[in-house]
């Protein structure tokens, strides 16, 4: 999570959307950077709403606009799947080393997910709160030019990003039936992604 107070913006760090690269590029220009531990770096909207937003509202009398990046749902799961194939996870319950992507997605669709498929939800991460706190500006990971143009315009900062924390290559073959199951079980993910203005 990064705060740009002068621009009245907070940028949430949705997992698997390039947040590490953005923090490296923008850290010198942000007024607040939460990069560790991961539970705080990747604070969802509800956590921002509960802990960080009140601080700015009560101390500074300011309401920040919330910015976030979302990844296409199947691609997002693919990134998690590939990330969990890294050697340091071998033998752990979260490893996907001996599991196909199709099985990984099928396991993600279960009511009680096994550890290797417990990766959260972008829709839940970005879910609007009862008090009206919501994401003001949502951008697609697959087409980041509008996001960069928006951020440069609002902050006045010219920056460049470099690829970091990239997941290893992997076979992301997915049966049509499994994709349909994912769309049926998690329509909120696809609906939110479809709502992003190009």
Per-residue confidence band for 196, with pLDDT thresholds at 50, 70 and 90: very high
Model confidence pLDDT, tens digit, residues 21-58: 999 999 999 999 999 999 999 999 999 999 999 999 99
Q: Which residues of 59-95 are buried (b: 16+ CB within 10 A; e: fewer)?
A: eeeeebebbbbbbbbbebbbbbbbbbbeeeeeeeeeb
Q: What are phi and psi of 9, to 5 degrees?
A: -130, 145
Looking at the chain, the whole-number percentage of residues with pLDDT higher than 70 is 99
Model confidence pLDDT, tens digit, residues 77-103: 999 999 999 999 999 999 999 999 999
Task: Quickly name the fold that domain 2-194 has.
Answer: Rossmann fold (3.40.50)
Amino acid 169: pLDDT:
83
């Amino acid at each position: 999570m990064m705060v740009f107070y002068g621009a009245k913006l907070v940028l949430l760090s949705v997992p698997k959307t390039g947040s590490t690269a953005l923090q490296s590029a923008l850290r010198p220009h942000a007024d607040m950077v939460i990069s560790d531990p991961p539970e705080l770096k990747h604070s969802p909207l509800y956590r921002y709403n509960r802990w960080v937003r009140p601080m700015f509202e009560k101390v500074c009398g300011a309401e920040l606009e919330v910015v976030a990046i979302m990844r296409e749902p199947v691609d997002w799961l693919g990134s998690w799947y590939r990330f969990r194939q890294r050697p340091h996870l071998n033998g752990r319950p979260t490893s996907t080393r001996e599991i196909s992507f199709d099985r990984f997605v099928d396991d993600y669709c279960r009511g009680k997910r096994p550890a290797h498929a417990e990766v959260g939800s972008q829709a839940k991460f970005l879910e609007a709160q009862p008090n009206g706190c919501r994401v003001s500006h949502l951008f697609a990971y697959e087409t980041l030019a509008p996001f960069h143009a928006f951020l440069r315009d609002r902050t006045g900062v010219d920056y460049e990003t470099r690829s970091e924390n990239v997941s290893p290559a992997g076979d992301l073959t997915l049966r049509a039936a499994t994709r349909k199951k994912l769309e049926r079980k998690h329509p909120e993910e696809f609906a939110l992604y479809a709502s992003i203005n190009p």
